[in-house]
């Protein structure tokens, strides 16, 4: 008794999921903990940059007009009337042929409009006073970083939903964000199903394999920016499984199960969805692997029923669950970033379904090339460690050849994209 | 009194640092915490994959020879003598024209050598016994995943020093690594120096700016895989600063200071190195920015004296400190990964020094293009948030033009490279 399911396209499926995504909660954390979090507010310039006219060099602040006649045959002498370090402001006003010794980053003293680099001066002392001479002229504004020339107060610098990298961190510090509003990490619960599964710490037994999907998905959850709560392997008992899922739904933002969504006799997740009264968004997608991926919605929470097959499970998470996580993190570009790459292997066999192949993208002479991670059967397992992309091979009547351009979805790119599907 | 320092090339400088790097410590953590850590041991296949001959489909296990005469006009009937789920092993031996109902992933029952997919069968019952018929023949081995066909026991799957991603996590689980040996996160201490610096929570004051470098560097430290300990801004007092640094050196693997390494009157780090008896590896590098970057070694620990200029500080960390961190993390590819990209801006002015420009690399039609992050002066500050590469423009007598190929060092790539310098 094979249940007949109607497959929908990947883009339809993702769209149905996106209809039920929502933005998450905001938490305030100290800047020292902010790296790697997602901004829950725009970063705005709270002052001009530079905040005052300042010197980009170690040197002497002068009035440019006093240097007008200086040249190699006519050195002009300046008297040093003050010495200030960065962070200090001179309270002396510079007059004709006077100068203030100034350090990199220091505010320009009143009356000055140019800075002479130390290397261009000849310093000397006379009667315990300090002097220097220069043998070239300077124009007003020479060697000065002007207030606001980099950024004007009020400018939006980084958009809400951006992942905080070292550059963003520098901006937060510059503008006094000692506490930062970030997205609270969503909590994603994970259950495995499958009577063949052993725990990782159990020895192998005939017919059984260790549960690897849950650990893989938990890592994918962390990579996406959320927190994973692994609840173990569901027993082969409908009522116990139903109650475990119902309990977990109280504690998580999103619930993921691996396995149990095929049409096999032992796959009882469809019945659990039914008993929950969950709204099944789809239970078949026109893609390989992962065609049995099922997504349901229950009281505003998404339930992802990923396939028990490892590559289907991996693909299902990245296509459907990741954008839900990133939306909770306020991202406007919640989907995997798409790029083109040159195929390095033949796929001669046509396939009616769109294939999503775990692949390794590398850069050769400035362009992207892509190879399926499990291409050499002999190291299909180890090469999964190198997967950094999903290659998208649309279904059709023709195969794909080495040298063709194909689309890839980048797994390790933090930027994301608005919509990768046509 | 300008001290004359002799600049060395970037590659010489990096090489001098690498002479004093060492591998770090090993800690054992549960697999559930392993994502994002660096492997301190190779991952080895502890069994064959698959661990037994198994079915990749839901269907019936049969003896292929019994199907030989089956065709559209001659359906052959099989009796179903057992039903097993994945993880269970049938204890019945399959005889002539008998079959066992088998789930995806289940071990092949004794005597069987082919699997018939459910969709190709016509099931029926007779006298409370189950039967099915097929109208095509199967060959021995059809629809069977053979033991060890993916990976043989003993194969090294992932090398020590690799960052644990979701694929590696799956391998660790599959092969029973419930506890994982990873590199202990190195502890990197950070001090800021600079009389112009305010703390992030302080209001702006004339002539002063907030300390942003420390937070930026702490984020760079985290990105590199280490842990950052920020110890605050050093006071403008030699003895106090000396003692603070000496104290910190006890508690950290690497010590970073920002600022205080120029030849200005207020830059006292060179004197602190002298008093420590530290071995100064270099204090001038033929590059822009960051020429005053100073690295010293003291009792086997590296001290990085980064420039107080934000971009010089950023570049100095990535070029010199990052490979030291990654070596502590057992990486064999500790340097930033290098690629080629097409320049999208003109750099007409020649510069005798190699320039390292914080840049944004994007992918266009499958190839990398690069633009300096601060190119448009109007958003020089905000665009730093988008920097994901350092563009390397070798010094010389010619400038660079839009459309030329240049080297870029990728900042967000976790793979790294063995040696990016020529």
User: Which DSSP string do the residues of B4-59 spell out, in sequence order?
Assistant: P---B-HHHHHHHHHTT-----EEEEEGGG-TTSBBSS-EE-SS-BSSS-B-SSSE
H-run or E-run covering A223: helix A213-224
Query: What is the chain B residue with the closest CA to A307?
Result: B104
Residue A379, pLDDT score: 57
pLDDT for B103-113, tens place per residue?
Answer: 888 899 999 99
Q: Which of B300, B328, B356 is the last residue of a domain?
A: B328
- What is the pLDDT, as a whole number, of residue B58? 87
Tell me what pLDDT residue B118 has: 93
What is chain B's alpha carbon radius of gyration, rounded to the nearest angstrom? 31
Q: In angstroms, what separates the C-alpha of A135 from chain B's closest C-alpha?
A: 18
Over residues B146-154, the mean pLDDT reads 91
A154: closest CA of chain B, how far (Å): 12
* Minimum-distance CB partner of A264 among B58, B167, B366: B58
Considering the domain architecture, whether residues A76 and A165 belong to the same structural domain is answered as no
Instruction: Identify all chain A residues contacting B175, using CB atoms and an 8 Å cutoff.
Output: 210
3-state secondary structure of A267: coil
- pLDDT of B215 over the 90 cut: yes
pLDDT at B330: 98
Cβ neighbours of B35 in A, within 8 Å: 218-219, 222-223
Kindly state whether residue A143 falls inside one of the protein's structural domains.
Answer: no
**Average per-residue pLDDT for chain B:** 93
Residues in chain A: 422
In Å, what is the CA distance from B148 to each residue of B45, B49, B53, B54, B85? 10, 5, 8, 11, 21
Question: Could you tell me the pLDDT band of residue B5, with boundaries at 50, 70 and 90?
Answer: confident
Whether B276 and B195 share a structural domain:
yes
CB contact under 8 Å between A209 and B340, yes or no, is no
- Find the closest chain B residue to A378 by CA distance: B150
- Same-domain status, A385 and A355: yes
Given a cut of 60, whether residue A331 has pLDDT beyond it is yes
Cβ within 8 Å of residue B82, ≥6 positions away: B90, B92, B100, B101, B109
> Which residues in chain B touch residue A207, judged by CB atoms under 8 angstroms apart?
52, 86-89, 106-107
Q: Which pLDDT score is estimated for A1? A: 43
Domain annotation covers residue A5 = no
Closest CA to B404 of B339, B346, B337, B338: B346
Does B190 share its domain with B280? yes
Within 8 A of A405 by CB-CB distance, chain B residues are 366
Q: How far is A33 from chain B (nearest CA, A)?
A: 9
- Report the pLDDT value the prediction gives residue A375, as an integer from 0 to 100: 62
Contact: B105, A201; criterion CB under 8 Å: no
Give dist(CA A279, CA B223) in Å, integer: 40
Q: Is residue A44 part of a domain?
A: yes
Measured torsion, CA atoms of residues A181, A182, A183, A184, in degrees rounded to the nearest 10 = -90
Q: Does B415 fall in a domain? A: no
| Cβ within 8 Å, pair B158-A49 | no
CATH number of the domain bearing residue B349:
2.40.340.10
Contact assignment for A363 to B368 by CB distance below 8 Å: yes
> What CATH number should be reported for the domain holding residue A65?
2.170.190.11
Per-residue buried b or exposed e for A304-337, using 16+ beta carbons within 10 Å of the residue's own CB: bbbbbbbbbbbbbbbbbbbbbbbbbbbbebbbbb
- Give all strands of the β-sheet with B59-62 in edge-to-edge order: B114-117, B59-62, B98-102, B76-84, B129-134, B122-126
pLDDT in the model for residue B385: 86
ipTM above 0.85 for this complex: yes
3-state secondary structure of A169: helix
In this structure, the answer to whether residues B98 and B162 fall within a common structural domain is no
In a domain, A141, yes or no: no
Single residue among B134, B169, B200 that ends a domain in this structure: B134
CATH code for the domain in which residue A178 is found: 3.90.105.10
Q: Report the pLDDT averaged over residues A205-219.
A: 95
Distance from CA of A274 to the nearest CA of B (A): 23
Inter-chain touch A381–B49, beta carbons under 8 Å:
yes
For residue A53, give the chain B residue with the closest CA: B207
Average pLDDT over residues A46-66: 93
Q: Is residue A146 part of a domain?
A: no
Mark whether B278 and B349 lie in a shared domain: no
Q: How much is the pLDDT for B1?
A: 43
What is residue A104's predicted lDDT score, i.e. its pLDDT? 81
Q: B45: pLDDT confidence band, cut at 50, 70 and 90?
A: very high
Residue A190 and residue A324 in one domain = yes
Q: What pLDDT is stored for residue A265 in this prediction?
A: 55
Domain match, B226 and B347 both: no
DSSP codes joined into one string, B347-371: B-S--SSEEEEEEEEEEETTEEEEE
**Can you tell me the distance from the alpha carbon of A404 to that of A396, in angstroms, rounded to the nearest whole number?**
15
Tell whether A305 and A315 lie within a shared domain: yes
Asked if the structure places residue A105 within a domain, the reply is yes
What is the distance in angstroms between the Cα of A323 and the nearest Cα belonging to chain B? 17
Which range scores top for mean pLDDT: A90-94, A371-375, B159-163?
A: B159-163
Residue A396 has pLDDT above 50, yes or no: yes
Question: B199 to chain A, minimum CA–CA distance in Å?
Answer: 8
pLDDT, mean of residues B312-321: 97
Range of the domain at A172: 28-49+151-183
Mutation target to probe the B interface, by most B beta carbons within 10 A, among A28, A87, A321 is A87
A-B C-beta contacts closer than 8 Å: 315
Contact present, B132 and B122 (Cβ < 8 Å): yes
Interface mutation target, options B174, B201, B414, chain A, most CBs of A under 10 Å: B174
Domain tally, chain A: 4
CB atoms within 10 A of CB B27: 13
In a domain, B51, yes or no: no
Residue A77 in this model has a pLDDT that exceeds 60: yes
d(CA B244, CA B228): 16
Same structural domain, B324 and B284: yes
Same domain, B39 and B80: no
Indicate the residue among A272, A294, A328 that finishes a domain.
A328
Share of chain B above pLDDT 90, in %: 84
Q: Residue B215: which of A2, A173, A218 has the nearest Cβ?
A: A173
Q: Using CB atoms, which residue from A105, A213, A266 is nearest to B196?
A: A105
Which one of A218, A264, A308 has the shortest CB-CB distance to B32?
Answer: A218
Q: Are residues A229 and A293 in the same domain?
A: yes
Which tens digits make up the pLDDT trace of A250-266? 999 999 999 887 766 56
How far is Cα B2 from Cα A99, in angstroms, rounded to an integer? 18
| The predicted structure's pLDDT at residue A268 | 84
Residue of A nearest to B214 (CA): A170
CA dihedral A247, A251, A256, A262 (to 10 degrees): 20
Phi then psi for residue A186, to 5 deg, are -65, 150
Which of A264-278, A301-315, B315-329 has the least mean pLDDT?
Answer: A264-278
């Amino acid at each position: 008794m094979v249940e007949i399911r109607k497959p929908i396209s990947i883009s339809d499926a993702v769209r149905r999921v996106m209809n039920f995504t929502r933005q998450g909660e905001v938490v305030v954390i100290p800047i020292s903990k902010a790296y790697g979090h997602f901004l829950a507010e725009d970063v705005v310039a709270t002052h001009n940059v530079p905040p005052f006219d300042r010197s980009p060099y170690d040197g002497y602040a002068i009035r440019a007009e006093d240097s007008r006649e200086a040249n190699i045959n006519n050195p002009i002498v300046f008297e040093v009337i003050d010495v200030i370090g960065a962070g200090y402001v001179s309270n002396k006003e510079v007059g004709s042929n006077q100068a203030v010794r100034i350090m990199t980053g220091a505010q320009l003293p009143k009356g000055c409009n140019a800075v002479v680099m130390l290397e261009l001066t000849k310093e000397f002392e006379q009667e315990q006073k300090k002097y220097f001479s220069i043998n070239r002229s300077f124009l007003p504004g020479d060697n000065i970083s002007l207030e606001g020339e980099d950024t004007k107060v009020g400018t939006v610098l980084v958009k809400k939903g951006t992942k905080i990298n070292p550059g963003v961190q520098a901006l937060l510090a510059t503008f006094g964000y000692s506490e930062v509003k970030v997205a609270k990490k969503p909590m994603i619960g994970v259950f495995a199903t499958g009577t063949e599964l052993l725990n990782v710490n159990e020895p192998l037994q005939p017919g059984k394999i260790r549960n690897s999907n849950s650990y893989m998905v938990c890592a994918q959850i962390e990579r996406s920016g959320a927190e994973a709560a692994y609840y173990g392997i569901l027993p082969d008992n409908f009522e116990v499984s139903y109650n475990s899922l119902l309990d977990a739904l109280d504690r998580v933002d999103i619930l993921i199960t691996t396995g149990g969504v095929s049409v096999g006799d032992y796959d009882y997740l469809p019945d659990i969805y039914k008993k929950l009264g969950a709204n099944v968004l789809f239970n078949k997608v026109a893609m390989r692997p992962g065609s049995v991926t099922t997504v349901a919605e229950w009281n505003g929470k998404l339930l992802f029923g990923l396939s028990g097959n490892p590559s289907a499970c991996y693909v299902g998470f990245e296509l459907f669950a990741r954008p839900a996580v990133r939306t909770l993190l306020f991202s406007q570009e919640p989907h995997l970033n798409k790029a083109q790459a040159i195929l390095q292997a033949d796929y001669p066999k046509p396939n009616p379904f769109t294939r999503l192949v775990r692949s390794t993208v590398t850069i050769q002479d400035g362009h992207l090339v892509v190879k399926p991670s499990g291409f050499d059967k002999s190291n299909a397992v180890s090469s999964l460690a190198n997967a950094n992309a999903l290659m998208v091979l649309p279904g059709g009547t023709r195969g794909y050849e080495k040298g063709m351009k194909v689309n890839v979805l980048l797994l390790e790119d933090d930027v994301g994209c608005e919509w990768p599907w046509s």
